[in-house]
Amino acid sequence: MHYEMIEIEIADKIAVLTINRPESLNAMSPDLLTEISMAIAELEVDDEVGVVILTGAGKAFVAGADIAEMAEMSPREAQFFAEIGGGMGMAIEESTKPYIAAVNGFALGGGCELALACDFIYASQKAKLGQPEVKLGVIPGFGGTQRLSRRVGLAKAKELIFTGDIIDAEESLRIGLVDAVYAPDELMAKAKATAGRIVANGPLAVAEAKRVMQIGADMALPHANQLEQFAFASLFDTEDQQEGMSAFLAKRAPEFKNR
């Protein structure tokens, strides 16, 4: 598909989705949210994609929502906007593909929420993250109040959201908001290196691991363990399981077929 505000590059089963509105610091508008959601759906059914890396053009990942557009929204329009943003985050979480957020600069408001929906977050040393919505008289609307607390703990999430504070990469790493911090010129290489290690593995196994971990996080442990057991057993009916174990025993690299 042709997109106006994002770019997608695919190589070696790694897709890099770049939000490309640098003149507005990649601010999120309803149209941009729609494009990202369409791209997520497109990548989901692409067998040539095993991992998706999300990043931003210029000096921002996503600096937040487009305030000029938000300022004129009615409650009904704001509800629609939040539903699009919330749906985008859910689509990332429910995707069979792992998503890596490569936060190259500002990730504020909706940008922070976009990163939080990803499976893990790598940040540049120049990154700044936060949920400053209260400074505008509103709250996070794309899942920030829920995902941030699950990632850094309820008390720390309350502190960040109630104050609207913006924190740097090192503080984000310290509290567990991001998973690693790299020099700006190393960020994408590190994200691609991790993506490369993922796509070398059985794609059905990676997808099932993501699914059971995502669902199991909100289940009681006995039920989550049972979900894992069923998923584990189901993979023994796949060609990839046979190939993976045969390759291991033969001491050769596996050739997975995603079936």
What's the average model confidence in pLDDT over 235-242? 96
- Model confidence at 202, pLDDT cuts 50, 70, 90, reads very high
Distance between CA 26 and CA 41 in Å, rounded? Answer: 21
Q: Is the pLDDT of residue 220 over 90?
A: yes
Indicate whether 34 and 160 sit together in one domain. Answer: yes
For residues 140-164, average pLDDT: 97
Domain count, the chain: 2
The dihedral sign for the CA sequence 42, 6, 131, 105:
positive
The number of angstroms, rounded, from the C-alpha of 210 to the middle of its chain's C-alpha atoms is 12
Model confidence band, residue 1 (pLDDT cutoffs 50, 70, 90): confident
Q: Is 249 exposed, middle or buried (0-12, 13-18, 19+ CB in 10 A)?
A: exposed
Q: What is the pLDDT of residues 60-72, one digit of tens each?
A: 999 988 888 889 9
> Quick one: 116 and 229 in the same domain?
no
Sign of CA dihedral 90, 6, 56, 27: negative
Q: What is the mean pLDDT of residues 216-241?
A: 96
Is residue 60 classed as helix, strand or coil in its secondary structure?
strand
Do 177 and 56 fall into the same domain?
A: yes
Q: For residues 181 and 143, state if they share a domain.
A: yes
Side chain identity, residue 203? P
Using 50, 70 and 90 to split pLDDT, how confident is the model at 136?
Answer: very high
3-state class (DSSP) for residue 23: helix
Supply the pTM of this predicted model: 0.94
Does 241 score more than 80 pLDDT? yes
User: Residue 45: pLDDT band by 50, 70, 90 thresholds?
Assistant: very high
CATH of residue 217's domain is: 1.10.12
pLDDT tens profile 154-190: 999 999 999 999 999 999 999 999 999 999 999 999 9
Q: Are residues 134 and 239 in the same domain?
A: no
Domain that holds residue 218: 203-250
Q: Which of 202, 78, 206 is nearest to 142 (CA)?
A: 78
Query: Do 149 and 214 lie in a common domain?
Result: no
Same domain, 70 and 100: yes
Name beta bridge partners: 207.
none
Q: What is the average pLDDT score of the chain?
A: 96
Of 42, 44, 94, 133, the active-site residue reads 133
- Residue 258 belongs to some domain of the structure: no
133 counts as catalytic: yes
Residues 93, 113, 159, 239: which is the catalytic one?
113
Residues 208 and 193 both lie in one domain:
no
Task: Say yes or no to pLDDT of 49 above 80.
Answer: yes
- Please confirm, yes or no, whether 208 is among the known catalytic residues: no
Q: Give the C-alpha separation, 23 to 93, whole Å.
A: 29
Residues 39 and 147 in one domain: yes
Region 139-148 average pLDDT: 96
Are 159 and 241 found together in one domain?
no
Tell whether 161 and 211 lie within a shared domain. no
In a domain, 84, yes or no: yes
Residue 110 lies in a domain: yes
